Amino acid sequence: MKKNIFYSSALAVLLLFNSCATNPVTGKKEVMLISEEQEIAMGQEADPQIVAQFGLYNDPEMQRFIQEKGQQMAAVSHRSNLKYTFRVLDSEVINAFAVPGGYVYFTRGIMAHLNNEAQFAGVLGHEIGHVTARHSAAQQSKATLTQGLLIGGMIFSPTLANMGQTLSQGASLLFLKFGRDAERQSDELGVEYSTKIGYDATEMADFFLTLQRSSAQAGAQEIPDFLSTHPNPGDRYSTVKQLAAQWKQQVNTPLKVNRNNFLKLIDGIIYGEDPKQGFVENQVFYHPELKFQFPIPQAWQYQNTPQQVQMAPKDGKALMFLTLVPGTALEAAAQEVVTKYQLQPLESRSVTVNGLPAIAIVADQKPSQEAQQQQQEQVPVRAMIYLIQYGGNIYGMFGVTSANDFNAYAPTFSNTMQNFRTLSDPDKLNRQPERVRVKTLSKASTLAQALTSYNVPTKRQEEIAILNGMQLKDQLAAGTMIKIVAK
């Protein structure tokens, strides 16, 4: 499915020769490890993988909006020569990020939490700033040299990363972290660029408060990805406010917020998980469209993407994932898997999984040729694999860990794989997503009163207040537009 990008050793050789370049933003000479051509090539290779992994959000008007505003802002940036691409991804996480060469992505999760065009423009300018100041290019050169150490601690060795195919360029770039200096510079550029295209950058600072409140409500273990990947020092809000005030004085023209226009744009956007792509309830993963289900081990984390479902314990010592395996015949598919992952089968047998034909394999991964040539020591990796035929597809369920830990994890792998089964529960098959619904108040009230009038449960009112960037006690005039969440 996902194809890992491994740059040749030639790049490592090139990196040994430090080349000085003029930073487009500061005008200062600095050491830059990759050329602009390499930077563009990285983005061109990463983009299709990012789109394949997360999917584009199916809303042509929203995609046109981000392209239009993005191109307008790119034209006033410090690197207007680049060919920029802007996309909204079909992911519920609250995040926006950029990859080298001019590729900028917003998730539908962050679009749902923005409350006006000015906030959107501030975040957009921030991400373009990472591109124009070449932060993502510099960071990517580091990521290229340390491949095998990414993806949230789920992977503990390059061999295991290769086996799970999770070390894709797209996935690693989604979680790139920048230092505070880079973030501060991108905040400054976000204020500058958004002001230059006519938006009030003060709103950008206000959006930081929404993110902080969302983080506090979810708890430290589930902070919005935009905060986890964008360090947020305590003075960030006030600094951006000050910068926005300075730019207001410089341009000396009225600046836009455009709240109602933006709310109309996102009216109906999917909020949270989209059940049709698969969802988890009571530690069971359900996929209504493909009509299957299987249990997720207790206390294991999971990530669902269009290409695969990944599961791992918090210590990162094992990995399970489910993905489609090409082919129509089980035996041929099994041989393809063994060859593709360079496996040495220890056992292979035909089995039945809840009435479905399957092949169960236990195998070790052969040492890579590169490791053999360089006489490197590799952590021996062992996998349990179930290939299950169902609905015209072959589903591969892979459980991977070190050979030393395999016996400890084998019962967990087996329990998940042997409980793959057909989904027939109408409640799960017909589950609809929650969506943001924009309402116009007919009379003045507090936000809390308004939410109650729209039947928002009390236990969710603080969540919806954060979604609106408001406090429950805020007084709202008749005619005010607010967001609620409903199916």
Taking alpha carbons only, the member of 117, 58, 455, 439 closest to residue 269 is 58
H/E run at residue 357: strand 356-365
Q: Are residues 146 and 119 in the same domain?
A: yes
Whether 204 has a pLDDT exceeding 50, the answer reads yes
Interatomic CA distance for residues 138 and 122, integer angstroms: 23
Q: Are residues 257 and 386 in the same domain?
A: no
Beta carbons within 8 Å of 98's beta carbon, 6+ residues apart? 104, 105, 127, 128, 130, 131, 136
Interatomic CA distance for residues 217 and 118, integer angstroms: 25
Contact 216, 463 (CB under 8 A): no
Phi and psi at 201, nearest 5°, equal -70, -10
Kindly report the CATH number assigned to the domain that includes residue 340: 3.40.1000.10
Q: Are residues 261 and 280 in the same domain?
A: no
Q: Tokens 């539908």: give the residue.
A: 108
Average pLDDT over residues 110-124: 97
pLDDT above 70 covers a percentage of the chain that reads 78
The tokens for 98 are 């950029």
- Global confidence as pTM: 0.79
Interatomic CA distance for residues 31 and 310, integer angstroms: 38
Classified as helix, coil or strand, 185 is helix
Among the candidates 248, 270, 292, a domain finishes at: 270
Q: Are residues 338 and 354 in the same domain?
A: yes
Q: Are residues 305 and 386 in the same domain?
A: yes
In a domain, 394, yes or no: yes
Among the candidates 429, 457, 473, a domain finishes at: 429
Q: What pLDDT score was predicted for residue 136?
A: 66
Amino acid at 38: Q
Contact 445, 453 (CB under 8 A): yes
The tokens for 179 are 């230092």
In a domain, 103, yes or no: yes
Q: How far is CA 66 from CA 86, 103, 383, in A?
A: 6, 12, 43
Q: What pLDDT score was predicted for residue 374?
A: 52
Classified as helix, coil or strand, 430 is coil
Phi and psi at 304, nearest 5°, equal -110, 125
Number of Cβ within 10 Å of residue 440's Cβ equals 11
pLDDT above 90 covers a percentage of the chain that reads 60
Range of the domain at 100: 9-270
Q: Are residues 233 and 132 in the same domain?
A: yes
Q: Are residues 52 and 201 in the same domain?
A: yes
170 vs 109: which has the higher pLDDT: 109
In a domain, 2, yes or no: no
Q: Are residues 382 and 297 in the same domain?
A: yes
Amino acid at 48: P
Taking alpha carbons only, the member of 308, 313, 264, 307 closest to residue 116 is 264
The tokens for 432 are 């609809």
Phi and psi at 473, nearest 5°, equal -85, -5
Task: For residue range 449-468, list pLDDT tens digits in order.
Answer: 999 999 999 999 999 999 99
Q: Are residues 218 and 351 in the same domain?
A: no
Phi and psi at 150, nearest 5°, equal -110, -170
Q: Are residues 365 and 307 in the same domain?
A: yes
In a domain, 17, yes or no: yes
11 vs 277: which has the higher pLDDT: 277
Q: Are residues 385 and 422 in the same domain?
A: yes
Whether 225 has a pLDDT exceeding 80, the answer reads no
In a domain, 439, yes or no: yes
In a domain, 382, yes or no: yes
The tokens for 337 are 């898997």
Classified as helix, coil or strand, 149 is coil
Beta carbons within 8 Å of 64's beta carbon, 6+ residues apart? none
Parallel, antiparallel or unpaired: strands 85-89 and 103-107: parallel
Among the candidates 381, 409, 429, a domain finishes at: 429
Q: What pLDDT score was predicted for residue 16?
A: 36
Classified as helix, coil or strand, 232 is coil
Q: Tokens 């609106």: give the residue.
A: 468
Query: In the sheet that 421-422 helps form, which strands lie side by side, from edge to edge?
Result: 279-281, 284-287, 292-295, 421-422
How many residues are there in the chain?
487
- R_g (Cα) of the chain, nearest Å: 24
In a domain, 1, yes or no: no
As for how many domains the chain has, the answer is: 3
In a domain, 330, yes or no: yes
Average pLDDT over residues 212-237: 60
Q: What pLDDT score was predicted for residue 213?
A: 86
Average pLDDT over residues 264-286: 95
Beta carbons within 8 Å of 89's beta carbon, 6+ residues apart? 50, 51, 54, 55, 56, 57, 105, 106, 107, 108
Q: Are residues 252 and 280 in the same domain?
A: no
